Structure 1
Amino acid sequence: MFFSAIATSSAVVVANPSSDEVVVITGTRTERSLLDVPVRTEVVTQEQIANMHARDLEEALKNVPGLNLVPIHGKSGSEIHIQGIDGNRVLVLVDGMPVSASTGSKVDVTQIGVSNIKQIEIVKGAVSALYGSEAMGGVVNVITKPPKQERDLRLTIDGGTYGDHDVSDALVNDSSYNVFAHQKVGQGYFQFSADHRVKGGSDLDPSTYVFECDEGTKTNLSLVAGYEFDNGGRIKLIPSWYREDISKDYEEFSPGVGHLYRVKEEVATRANVSLHYTGPVAEWGYFTGYYIHESFEDDTNKDIKSTAEIEDPRSAKIQSNKADAQLDIDVLDNHLLTIGTVAYEASLQQRINGKSELDKEKVERDNIEFYLQDAILLTDELEILPGFRYQRDSDFGSHFTPKFNLMYQPEVLAGYDFKVRAGVGKGYKVPTLKERYFVFDHSAIGYMILGRPDLQPESSTSYQLGFDMSLSEKVRIDVNFFQNRLENLITTDRDALLSERLALDVFRYTNKAKARTQGFDSSLALNVSDNFTSNISYGYLEAVDRSTGKTLSRRPEHQVKLKLNYTLPDWRTTFTLFGRYESESYADGDNKIKSEAFTLFDFKVNTWVTDNIKLFGGVDNLTHVVRDTPATGSDFRPAKGRFIYAGFTYQY
């Protein structure tokens, strides 16, 4: 039967996985082989994360074709852009559960550690019926390690320096510590993971007061208590906690006052607890469900150094509850029907100097969603995947979004493992609580940002068409064409009348923009020999504001990513060179200011001294490509220079 065939296609990801051994879940929310899933999915494996020495999710994703990691304006950390669609419209998940966005805006991927990651799965575009309103641009799903082994222990420590650009005076400027431990006890098991990153800060021009990159710490802790039933069902309880404590010196100009020397201090904490259950229902189905409660708090101070008091103490608190229940039903021999429902509620509080910045003390919203998808094997060559999602929001009523995917693998090209995947889907996103109610009063330095309660939802249509094939045992190619058309986009716009009346720049969130992003991603994997492998990808992006005809800012037209991997088996050593090129991009909506193109290289070395101990090191930003100083806000080249580091891993 179809469901049984999918279930038995699962495979454990081994140390050197080939594509047909990798099992993914994000595109269909059922386990499928990577090569046989109808929704195009890209994967970063545990081995790849370890070999690139990634310290957080940002570093784990930076070499994925078609993805851009972009600093979040006014915040520490980075957001994900997929196919030219920004991080406010990209859904980030951990084991299918959403990660809350920083202060109700965008998910900061530097807040997610890597110690317990099995793999990362990426689905681009709004083509899956299984995900909600935040997934207009796509989905990034972090899959954590399953309880496959009796016991497991892994410890990694590394540290390094920016040389003359270190802010701290310590020998080691930046360091990272992570540990993962797993132990089975009968049919139960426990897992503990921890990531602690120490940032000393980096400064492109040590002669000035300002430095570019924050100093401080970021810490993730997670505990899993699970139990496996005789019928294959599994239940687990997961409490987790995150904290960042960071600061940065910066400078602002105040009209009539002059230059103000400030320090921004920020403490953010995220605490959540979740309960999962997965297991068979008789012989005809499979149930998956979870409940998660999360609280995210963010406290910032922007202190003027020349005054005794602390200015602008600001606090934000987001609380949310979400429950998801899904049933996969095996229908006849060629259908797998997926039915699910989601309930969600959230609240936002925002204060400055103890006073609410919102139009009311606390704002809230809730919604309930229903989704259905049917995986149908029409023939041995053709599988189709129709589906839809229905959403009813407390503030915006009901909405229906259809989706359709297919995979065609012609028998005549079976020798090349040739597959065509196509998808089309409607996207829909309601305004965030921040966009509707936020009041960001920075009038002391000349501007203010106001929410707009009457904002309307955004919508999109996404088209995806791609193929992949093996030209030989050593050569594989992958090409995907895309177009995303977005309507009613929420942007900030200057309110001329209010600005004139208040004698400062007043910006309001507004439904204004229409956009189109289109292009293609392509990659070529070449195994030159058993010891030498390579992968090169090229992405082309055209991102246009359809209201003005102008190119969207911070969207490079061309992107190239390169990986060269050489292994010395007798030395148990691997050398890897990563390269990334981004073409110039506009820094403003009027297309008058450009940021320069740039090329980066990272070099990595991994050596297994014994079966349990690995020594590693590397140089990030090998050629020290950085933006000009002082920064103007229109130079998107790296703010971090050359970083030299070393470390070790112990595993048992």
Structure 2
Amino acid sequence: MAGLHFFKKHPVQLLLVATISACSFPLFAASETPETLVVTGTKTERLLADSPVRIEVVTEQDIATSHARDLAEALKNVPGIVLKPIHGKSGQEVWMQGLDADRVLILVDSKPVSASTGSSVDVTQISVADVTHIEIVKGATSALYGSEAMGGVINVITKRAKLGTTYKVTLDSGSYGEQNVSDGPFNDNHANFFVSHNSGSWFGQLMTDVRYKQGTDLDDTTWDFEGAAGTKTNVAAKLGYQFSNGAEVMIAPSYYYEDINKNFRSFSPGVGEVKKEKREEVKRKNISISFDSPVFEDSELSAWYMFESFTDNTEQDTLSTDYIDQSRLGESTFNKGEVQLDHALGEYQILTVGIVALKSTLAQTKDESTPINVVPIDELQGEKQRTSIELYAQDDIFIGDQLEILPGIRYQNDSDFGSYLAPKINLMYDPNWLDKQVKFRIGAGSGYRAPTLKERHYIFDHSALGYMVLGNEDLVPETSTSLQFGADYSPGGSFHADVNFYYNDIKNLISTELNQQQSDATNLSIYEYSNIGEARTKGVDITSAYDFTEFLSSNISYTYLDAINLELNKQLTQRPKHQAKINVSYKVLPLKSLFSLYGSYQSEQFVDDENLISSPAYSTFDFKVNTDVTNNFTLFMGVDNFLGVTRDVPLTGHDFRPENGRFIYLGVRFSG
């Protein structure tokens, strides 16, 4: 009742200081508490335990304990999340609840990240050096996000400068042993630096992060190697001012640069195997301006605008010639702005309304070289663009101290596909069982996803590797119905458990299908985006955390997924039916050390639509050690995939086990 009394006295403050979350599980038992503040579920700050939308959280403690360097590594231990290599590219993407990465919205501070490949975001390109926590909402149950969020939302929340000056420096380096492409002892090197200052009104911060890899190879007897070599660099800054009335204005530029390469081979009749090199240079430039301010007595206004440009220049070079065979340049831009108003309607109701405007463009050109000349080709026949206007509204209604109802609706008008209305509703019920330690959450929503510019226009040419993927201008939007039902038990102290059942029904699912007629005509495997009809995914996530003693803690999770192509009555490909994850941590106080073991199991998954070919089941284990030499100085080491589980060679394309084997590394962290 004390919490309800505070809400009655301070309705806006509580709603705006208690956002997103619910039913989340901790990767390290003591790192997540009910007092954790989240924002993704309702776009207003809520206490984790009080969010009507189910949220899972990866904390800064989790990131530090697991030595995660990028978003992929930070998410790898989250129940139900599947990380997959991006087909034909370097990097990884996120799948959730049987829905692939094209349907998962990736945000940084609630602002979208443009897709690295035109539809899915490469999460290895996002550094976590300046991250305070990561919020995960699964399923299309929030009215506050657009068509990209059919499968869910991952929101990366970065740090805010604290009063005074703070800094952190991390250095680590390691080796894949016999899988190193280079001869040196250190194959994978990483450094980051973070500094911030807050004077009380002015605040600013700077983060730089550099990762350098020399490549990994599963078979050193061949010319090609699987793990790309090169550099990935992130730079991000914030500069802002906070007024005496609580209003704040901030500008946040960021820059990402990637320069990588790998060797590969192709077969030429009469010549045999031809040695080639693929090089890729990626640049992402982003700048955002945001403003937040109290309005009147019971309202809060927030607004932001961001611009992002993304360029991807790839080259395929036959080493025996003195010219570059093929060079392709993909360029995309992303302009987006949003205005949101939160207003208290009396003591038990908060209304949120907003408007979003988007304009995106895509262009792609290619230069094909011969010994005589260079032939330029405009593959999209000019720049393609898409615009949309979206409106959303939600009403957060408190009924007594046991029931909260969150209905919402989102309207989208797309320049190419017209209008669509997507209703959502969430409910949280506290039945006062077991001293208010049990909560139930229910979510239902309609999802909508317009085909991306890539899916309609992009030409993904890997003819040197025997295949191409073509866009399809005749695609129609996908629609979905998402249902979520869960309960969590949080008695405090040593134990936490939750269970969540989910169901997603998708119509006009967009997938890549083999075009046999074009394949026969070109002697290549020609894939084309198409609407395959109806699909359904359903399953359950079960998680628990238990502290056996003050020094020994554990987390365990199990995910069951049943994903069906209803048109063929077959399992959808690349979706493991069973997944289990475990983390056991032990503190050794005399050594000021924390020892952690992470384990992950994935069952077999089908490779082809007819379910005749499957990729094997596998398990991996990571071992981590963190030692606090002083309060500001930490030594750490780890062995990732210490059983050395990898794909079989020669590679067949039918094996989705890890492409990297055992990785041993050491690192140091300074902070102040």
Q: TM-score range with shorter-chain normalisation?
A: over 0.9
1:68-79 equivalences in 2 (<5 Å): 68-79=82-93
How many correspondences in the alignment? 650
Deviation for aligned residue 1:130: 0.4
TM-score, normalised to structure 1, is: 0.97
Cα distance in 2 for partners of 1:234, 1:15 equals: 34
Change (3 A) 1:36 1:594: same
1:229-240 equivalences in 2 (<5 Å): 229-240=243-254
Moved more, 485-494 or 267-276: 485-494
The partner residue of 1:126 within 111, 125, 140 is 140
Q: Is the 8 A contact 1:294 1:320 kept in 2?
A: yes
Q: Is the 8 A contact 2:19 2:39 kept in 1?
A: no
Deviation for aligned residue 1:19: 2.0
The partner residue of 1:525 within 535, 545, 560 is 545
SS at match of 2:435: helix
1:313 aligns with 2:330: no
Cα distance in 2 for partners of 1:142, 1:54 equals: 14
Change (3 A) 1:189 1:573: same
Partner of 2:370: none
Deviation for aligned residue 1:282: 1.9
1:90-137 residue CA offsets vs partner (Å, 9 max, x unmatched): 000000100011131210000000111010000000000000010000
Partner of 1:297: 311
Deviation for aligned residue 1:4: 2.8
Change (3 A) 1:94 1:307: same
1:63-112 residue CA offsets vs partner (Å, 9 max, x unmatched): 00000000000010000000111001100000010001113121000000
1:389 aligns with 2:406: no
Q: Is the 8 A contact 1:315 1:351 kept in 2?
A: yes
Partner of 1:191: 205
Give the counterpart letter for 1:646 in structure 2: L
Partner of 2:470: 450
Q: Is the 8 A contact 2:17 2:47 kept in 1?
A: no
SS at match of 2:532: strand
Cα distance in 2 for partners of 1:97, 1:28 equals: 15
Partner of 1:276: 290
Deviation for aligned residue 1:513: 3.7
Give the counterpart letter for 1:43 in structure 2: V
1:307-361 residue CA offsets vs partner (Å, 9 max, x unmatched): 2221120110001110011110011111111100000001101111074453421
Deviation for aligned residue 1:479: 0.3
Change (3 A) 1:4 1:505: closer
Partner of 1:138: 152
SS at match of 1:570: helix
1:566 aligns with 2:586: yes
Q: Is the 8 A contact 1:357 1:439 kept in 2?
A: no
The partner residue of 1:90 within 98, 101, 104 is 104
Cα distance in 2 for partners of 1:391, 1:358 equals: 29
Cα distance in 1 for partners of 2:465, 2:156 equals: 40
1:571-610 equivalences in 2 (<5 Å): 571-610=591-630
Deviation for aligned residue 1:587: 1.4
Deviation for aligned residue 1:444: 6.2
Q: Is the 8 A contact 1:253 1:445 kept in 2?
A: no
1:445-524 equivalences in 2 (<5 Å): 446-470=466-490, 473-502=493-522, 504-524=524-544
Cα distance in 2 for partners of 1:197, 1:504 equals: 36
Q: Is the 8 A contact 1:255 1:445 kept in 2?
A: no
Cα distance in 1 for partners of 2:19, 2:476 equals: 42
1:60-459 equivalences in 2 (<5 Å): 60-254=74-268, 258-353=272-367, 355-411=376-432, 413-415=433-435, 417-442=437-462, 446-459=466-479
Moved more, 339-348 or 298-307: 298-307
Deviation for aligned residue 1:15: 12
Cα distance in 2 for partners of 1:15, 1:39 equals: 21
1:413-444 residue CA offsets vs partner (Å, 9 max, x unmatched): 15251000010101111111111112345556
Cα distance in 1 for partners of 2:291, 2:492 equals: 42
Cα distance in 2 for partners of 1:410, 1:15 equals: 25
Identity among equivalent positions (%) equals: 48
TM-score, normalised to structure 2, is: 0.94
Give the counterpart letter for 1:358 in structure 2: E
Deviation for aligned residue 1:492: 2.2
Gaps of 5+ in 1: none
Cα distance in 1 for partners of 2:147, 2:462 equals: 30
Change (3 A) 1:614 1:8: same
The partner residue of 1:6 within 15, 18, 24 is 15
1:618-637 equivalences in 2 (<5 Å): 618-637=638-657
Change (3 A) 1:356 1:328: farther
Deviation for aligned residue 1:288: 1.5
Deviation for aligned residue 1:450: 2.6
Q: Is the 8 A contact 1:420 1:467 kept in 2?
A: yes
Gaps of 5+ in 2: 1-7, 21-25, 368-374
Change (3 A) 1:100 1:472: closer
Deviation for aligned residue 1:504: 4.5
Moved more, 462-471 or 117-126: 462-471
Give the counterpart letter for 2:559 in structure 1: G
Cα distance in 2 for partners of 1:255, 1:343 equals: 53
SS at match of 2:226: coil
Aligned CA-pair RMSD: 1.9
Give the counterpart letter for 2:132 in structure 1: K
SS at match of 2:53: coil
Cα distance in 2 for partners of 1:103, 1:595 equals: 25
Q: Is the 8 A contact 2:242 2:249 kept in 1?
A: yes
Cα distance in 1 for partners of 2:518, 2:429 equals: 56
Give the counterpart letter for 1:405 in structure 2: N
